[in-house]
Structure 1
Amino acid sequence: MHPHPQQEGIWLRFLSGPDVEELGIGQAEIIDAVEQVVAAHGRGETVFEPRTHLVPDNGGIGHFNVLRGHVATLGEHGVSGVKVVGDFVPNFQLGLPSELALLTLYDPTTGVPRAIIDATFITEARTGAMTAVGARHLARPDAGILGHVGARGTAFSNVTMLDALFELDEIRVTSRRPESREAFADQLRAATDTPVRVVDTAAEAFDGADILVEATRLTEPSPLLHPGLVKPGAFVVPYGTISAVSEDLLDVMDKVVVDDWREARSGRFGALRHHVDTGKLSSETLYAELGAVVSGQKPGREKPQERILLWHRGLSILDVAVGHLILERAERGEVGTMLRYR
């Protein structure tokens, strides 16, 4: 199972979903790994390629995202990685997560593959961690009400990681299907003492909230998140694949931050795709990339009344950073299956 270092051939480590679970990586560790790689991105210590899409001829039920990145600050020589993640909304009908992912990690000095990892958990956790890192720098420190729309895979990480960083008074949740929002609320109540309230509409979840997270699974664009719901001082995170954002939302924002401007401009999908395509969001109206804020090059929140929006598409370098954290832990604990490559 675990070849001796002198054994012939090249071997790589396969980490299944249960292997990753067994390692018990904590949320705080994931948030730290994500914050460090976002700062590295701000300092230019990553090589980052915008995602590409593979859209099979399958009647529009889903597509694949291909993410590629390199982080120079990990390990001895840095780590390169490629993640393929499906986005298949009807998967719940089959009892499957809508986003199933596979990550491969490589030695950037030789091209030798180091690991194949079930990245379904990584995708969910790094997305929640990005929301949390953004909130740490851009939300009001005294934020008390979180409104979360959507019960997709990343929702649990979004809410629980934010709950760990802020002294929340209330968590409001809703989603399109009543059964999924109730199940999500039950899952949250088992994980936190913060009161969780299920509401029927996005407007009820968002109205007057201090942190607004839009993680819907729309099939057609619909303006669920609009200026009337965003109070002064609010922090807004929209990242539905199909936009749930009104055309005039950015009119009330004091600062708009993205994870990566090249990523924001690429691809066919994303919450603010229309705003980029029509020029409402441009290099002139953009305040900063989050890396510039986290690395200290630009201030984050400067005034309590500022309305700030963070649009994060999900960066490949986050997957590489969290994947590397998992791989190092697995190597130390000899977890996983060694596969002969050649």
Structure 2
Amino acid sequence: KVVGDFVDNYKVDLPSELAVLNLFDPNTGVPKAIIDATAITDMRTGAVTALGAKYLARKDSKILGHIGARGTSYWNVRLLDHLFDFDEIRVHSRRPESRNAFAKRLEADLGKKIIVTDNWEDCLKGADIMVEASRLPEPAPLFKTEWVKKGAFVVPYGTMSALEFDLTDIMDKVVVDDWGQCGPGKPFGALRRHVDEGKVTAENLHAEIGQIVCGMKPGRESDEETILFWHRGLSTTDVALGAAMVDKAREMNIGQRLRFA
């Protein structure tokens, strides 16, 4: 899979993240499919956010604060609301036209009022679930630790960190999707500095989300726990979804057959 991330694409009315997925026969290496994976990327990212919330957020979570309005953001909010049926959904992004359009789409699809804020604090402070999917040009501590209430579930996954360095100090558990992608030596991510400076390590990490889902380690154990889930994205998810799409396309007799020689 190849994913392009062009933050100024909104100027030409294109999504910032565009992706192509190539599937190959694992036994022969013969190409099997070429898939537009832009939607897959958005959906599976939102699905992992929701999966984390299923195991790590309070069951009675009723307020969602969401920073960011890119493609993955829509599926974050839609799938989280499917699980929790929020009483209040707040959204914010840097450009007014972006956050307003985002809220309008969500209101149409979810059938509930979306609160649009013009700053990070009004969006996030005191929310039960706090998701940060910003698009910063460089790291900046815009997500304040003091806004996080006891028992909250925090999901930061911006490419450039928006976190204050002491955020992990208040967490009872820090969970990732794959430590191999989050560990030392990698260039980007919300907890990049925390890992590089030894604040988050393989030893003090609570678990990978897969270990929780399969029962090897516990998820949320009380309503008082404050938990952070940092996910970087798993390419295996794209492969599985892509294969399922090819099977469905074959059943529906849609798509184009390309000649390979």
Give the TM-score normalised by structure 2: 0.98
User: Is 1:85 the equivalent of 2:3?
Assistant: yes
Q: In the TM superposition, what is the alpha-carbon distance from 1:138 to its structure 2 partner?
A: 0.6
User: Is 1:303 the equivalent of 2:210?
Assistant: no
Q: In the TM superposition, what is the alpha-carbon distance from 1:337 to its structure 2 partner?
A: 0.4
Q: Distance in 2 between matches of 1:306 and 1:155?
A: 25
Q: Deviations over 1:84-133 (max 9, x none)?
A: 00011011111111000000112212212211000000000000000011
Q: Distance in 2 between matches of 1:161 and 1:125?
A: 9
Report if the CA contact (8 A) 1:223-1:244 is conserved.
yes
Q: Which amino acid aligns with 1:320?
A: V
User: Is 1:231 the equivalent of 2:149?
Assistant: yes
Q: Distance in 2 between matches of 1:324 and 1:224?
A: 39
User: Is 1:143 the equivalent of 2:61?
Assistant: yes
What runs of 5+ residues in structure 2 fail to find an aligned partner? none
User: Is 1:332 the equivalent of 2:258?
Assistant: no
Runs of 4+ in 1 over 6 A off after TM superposition: none
CA RMSD of aligned residues (A): 0.9
* Bigger proportion of residues as strand: 1
User: Is 1:159 the equivalent of 2:73?
Assistant: no
Report if the CA contact (8 A) 1:168-1:194 is conserved.
no
Q: In the TM superposition, what is the alpha-carbon distance from 1:195 to its structure 2 partner?
A: 2.6
Report if the CA contact (8 A) 1:226-1:248 is conserved.
no
Q: Deviations over 1:120-157 (max 9, x none)?
A: 00000000000011101111111000000011111111
User: Is 1:252 the equivalent of 2:252?
Assistant: no
Q: Which amino acid aligns with 1:235?
A: F
User: Is 1:292 the equivalent of 2:211?
Assistant: yes
Q: Secondary structure in 1 aligned to 2:8?
A: helix
Q: Secondary structure in 2 aligned to 1:220?
A: coil
Structure showing greater Rg: 1
Q: How does 1:68-79 map to 2 (within 5 A)?
A: none
Match of 1:183 in 2: 101
Match of 2:234 in 1: 315
Q: Which amino acid aligns with 2:139?
A: P
Q: In the TM superposition, what is the alpha-carbon distance from 1:162 to its structure 2 partner?
A: 0.5
Q: In the TM superposition, what is the alpha-carbon distance from 1:226 to its structure 2 partner?
A: 2.5
1:241 to 159, 163, 183: 159
Report if the CA contact (8 A) 1:233-1:304 is conserved.
yes
Q: Secondary structure in 2 aligned to 1:263?
A: helix
1:212 to 130, 133, 153: 130
Q: Distance in 1 between matches of 2:146 and 2:94?
A: 21
Q: In the TM superposition, what is the alpha-carbon distance from 1:335 to its structure 2 partner?
A: 1.1
Q: How does 1:88-127 map to 2 (within 5 A)?
A: 88-127=6-45
Q: Which amino acid aligns with 2:254?
A: V
Q: Distance in 2 between matches of 1:99 and 1:148?
A: 19
Q: Distance in 2 between matches of 1:219 and 1:95?
A: 20
Report if the CA contact (8 A) 1:103-1:119 is conserved.
yes
Q: How does 1:190-205 map to 2 (within 5 A)?
A: 190-205=108-123
Q: Secondary structure in 1 aligned to 2:65?
A: strand
Q: Distance in 2 between matches of 1:330 and 1:274?
A: 43
Q: Which amino acid aligns with 1:313?
A: R
Q: Distance in 2 between matches of 1:224 and 1:193?
A: 30
Report if the CA contact (8 A) 1:148-1:205 is conserved.
yes
User: Is 1:280 the equivalent of 2:207?
Assistant: no
Q: In the TM superposition, what is the alpha-carbon distance from 1:327 to its structure 2 partner?
A: 1.2
What runs of 5+ residues in structure 1 fail to find an aligned partner? 1-82
Match of 1:173 in 2: 91
Q: Which has the higher contact order (CA 8 A, sep 6+)?
A: 1
Q: Deviations over 1:239-269 (max 9, x none)?
A: 0001101111000000000000010025311
Q: Distance in 1 between matches of 2:250 and 2:120?
A: 44
Q: Which amino acid aligns with 2:161?
A: S
| Range moving further from structure 2, 266-275 or 304-313 | 266-275
Report if the CA contact (8 A) 1:239-1:313 is conserved.
yes
Q: Which amino acid aligns with 1:211?
A: I
Report if the CA contact (8 A) 1:288-1:298 is conserved.
yes
Report if the CA contact (8 A) 1:144-1:170 is conserved.
yes
